[in-house]
């Protein structure tokens, strides 16, 4: 069963952004965010947090 995750990341100007992903766990949510968001794909260390929504 997939869960809803919020992946928070910052851009080059340190502005915070969030993207929602459905995944089995937080690692899969990270992987999906890297695939879905070009900026994260280019800068995977910009991810600040991954939170599971309940």
The predicted structure's pLDDT at residue 7: 98
Q: Which two tokens stand for residue 36?
A: 């879905």
Give me the helices (H) in 1-54, please. Answer: 26-36, 38-42
The predicted structure's pLDDT at residue 54: 85
The secondary structure of residue 1, as a DSSP letter, is -
Q: Which two tokens stand for residue 54?
A: 């309940």
Domain count, the chain: 1
Q: Which two tokens stand for residue 8?
A: 């928070």
The predicted structure's pLDDT at residue 36: 98
Q: pTM of the entire structure? A: 0.93
Q: Which residues form the domain of 39? A: 3-53
Q: Is the Cα dihedral 15, 46, 33, 22 positive or negative? A: negative
Tens-binned pLDDT, residue by residue, of the chain (54 aa): 899 999 999 999 999 999 999 999 999 999 999 999 999 999 999 999 999 998
The predicted structure's pLDDT at residue 13: 97
Q: Which two tokens stand for residue 53?
A: 């929504």
């Amino acid at each position: 069963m997939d869960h809803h995750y919020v992946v928070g990341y910052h851009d080059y100007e340190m502005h915070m952004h969030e993207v929602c992903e459905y995944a089995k766990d937080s690692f899969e949510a990270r992987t999906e965010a890297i695939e879905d968001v070009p900026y994260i794909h280019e800068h995977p260390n910009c991810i600040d947090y991954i939170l599971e929504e309940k």
